[in-house]
Structure 1
Amino acid sequence: MTDPLDFTGKTVVVIGGTSGIGNGIARGFLARGASVHVTGTRASATEYSADEGSDLEGLIFHQLDVSKRGAVDALPDVVGEPDVLVLSQGIVRYGGQEFAQDGWDDVVGVNLNSVMDCARAFHSGLADRGGSVIIVSSVAAFKSAMGNPAYAASKAGAASLVKSLGEAWARDGVRVNGIAPGLVPTKLTAVTTENDKRREASLRSIPLRRMGTPEDMAGAALFLASPLASYVVGQTLTVDGGLTLS
């Protein structure tokens, strides 16, 4: 029997795949046989280190700054037609910066505008391959994030985009779904995960009593991209250890 989670011979592109959740997802597909391309803003793969949660061994790196509109347009010509596109880019601004216009624009530009830019750029190739898109949002899409209005609004927009693209692109043979991670230790969540009081308070609100891992998110992505989810369209899978249940 064929393993539905075997991605041998498949091409996967992970935007924002150089660290954190994106890197975990990229390595999950790599372990299952895929050829995996990842993007990051730095000039080369050698500028990333394990100390900051990056493991690029075996991955194909491309420099890309998604905050620059149109920058992604040339990438499909380089990587070819993907079977899976994972959109895992994201930034956050703390200290009230997101209430100001510049902070708001920066966060929405990366977390929402660039998601559509990347999806649009790869749409034709995905349609040719009968491919799958996975948009990584956040549980912040479904609740208040008092100090980070742009982050919450942009992630809510990304989750909504899953529904709209899911319906619009299904007729092209492209399945669009999403993942909404809970608390996962990354550079973006360090303000909580590296603060003892905040971390412990967060853990008490998670029924599983642990933080998530990039590997947990990879499992969800592998499922959504696989034939096991061939009839799943326009859905965002919450992967949070039960955090949002109450």
Structure 2
Amino acid sequence: MADPLDFSGKTVLVVGGSSGIGNGIAHGFRERGAEVHVTGRRPTAEDYAGEKGSDLAGLIFHSLDVAQAGAVESIVLPAGLDVVVLCQGTVRYGREEFERPGWDAVMEVNLNSLMDCARIVRPKLAANGGSLIIVSSVGAYHAMIGNPAYAASKAGAASLVGSLAQAWAGEGIRVNGIAPGLVPTKLTKVTTDDEQRAAGIISRIPAGRMGTPQDMAGAALFLASPLADYVVGQTIRVDGGMTLS
């Protein structure tokens, strides 16, 4: 029997795959044989050299700043696409999200650009019976003091999974999502770099640890594989049980 997690001959695009969770997901597919394209907002792959959480070796890099409305229209996509993972995200601290500029900046990246990207990749995924995976956050399911735009945008992202799944399943596109728990990345370092805050959160995680980009890659590989052929419109919480209570 063929290995359902062998992606040899498949082409994968990870938007936001230059670092953090997206980078871990990208390498998960690369290690299983896929040709993997990633996007990042900097001009070249070399601009990420030496940065913690960013490894572009073996990946095909495309510069794309999804914070700029309409920017996705200019990206040159691979000839065929089998899997697309939308993993872009941003956050604003210092109560910036309570004001319109901060709110708009977060919404543009975390929600508007998801629909822009999904719209662009839809024809290629339909042609190959492909999989679209939207990465949101467990922040979609609870209040986040100080970050109303982040929480609302992630709730919107989780909702978008169901809407697109229902709309596009008939075209052969399976749409699902992943909601990560606490994973050390550039966006979460305000928490993960604070030993006291991090310890407090870990104490409430049944698994007893923070997540890793590799944990998220495992979920993405499953959702994109034939093992999940009958999984449609679901967002899997990959949080070590953090949201159980």
Give the shorter-chain TM-score range.
over 0.9
1:173 equivalent in alignment to 2:138: no
- On the 8 A contact 1:36/1:59 being kept in 2, the answer is yes
Report percent identity of matched pairs. 66
Q: Secondary structure in 2 aligned to 1:7?
A: coil
AA of the residue aligned to 2:208: R
Post-superposition shift, 1:50? Answer: 4.0
Post-superposition CA distance 1:140-186 (Å, at most 9, x none): 00000011000000000000000000100001100000000000000
Question: Secondary structure of the equivalent of 2:176?
Answer: strand
Query: Partner residue of 2:5?
Result: 5
Q: Find the aligned partners of 1:125 and 1:191 in 2 and give their Cα distance.
A: 38
Q: Report the equivalent of 1:143.
A: 142
1:17 corresponding residue in structure 2? 17
> Which 4+ runs in 1 deviate beyond 4 A?
none
- Maintained 8 Å contact 1:176/1:234: yes
Residue aligning to 2:116: 117
2:86 aligned partner: 87
Query: Do structure 1's residue 52 and structure 2's residue 70 form an aligned pair?
Result: no
Instruction: Report what 1:238 is aligned to.
Output: 237
Is the contact made by 1:81 and 1:122 (CA closer than 8 Å) also made in structure 2?
no
Deviations 1:110-165 (A, max 9, x none): 00000000000010111001000000000000000011000000000000000000
User: In the aligned structure 2, how far is the partner of 1:59 from the partner of 1:193?
Assistant: 27
Secondary structure, aligned partner of 1:244: helix
User: Does the residue aligned with 2:171 lie in a helix, a strand or coil?
Assistant: coil
Q: Residue deviations 1:55-87, cap 9 Å, x none?
A: 000000000011122211232x44222100000
5+ residue gaps, structure 1, are none
Aligned to 1:40: 40
Name the residue aligned to 1:195: 194
Deviation, structure 1 residue 192: 0.5
Deviations 1:97-117 (A, max 9, x none): 000000000000000000000
State whether residues 85 and 132 of structure 1, in contact with CA within 8 Å, keep that contact through their aligned partners in structure 2.
yes
Hey, what's the Cα distance between the residues in 2 that align with 1:119 and 1:101?
A: 25
Partner of 1:27: 27
Tell whether the 8 Å contact from 1:137 to 1:158 is kept in structure 2 after alignment: yes
1:102 aligns to 2:101 (yes or no) = yes
Residues 180 and 49 of structure 1, relative CA distance in 2, 3 Å threshold: same
Partner of 1:61: 61
CA apart distance, 1:202: 0.6
| Partner of residue 215, structure 2 | 216
2:133 is aligned to 134
- Compute the displacement of 1:49 (Å): 3.0
Number of residue equivalences: 245
Q: Which moved more, 1:65-74 or 1:188-197?
A: 65-74
Question: Structure 1 length as normaliser, TM-score?
Answer: 0.98
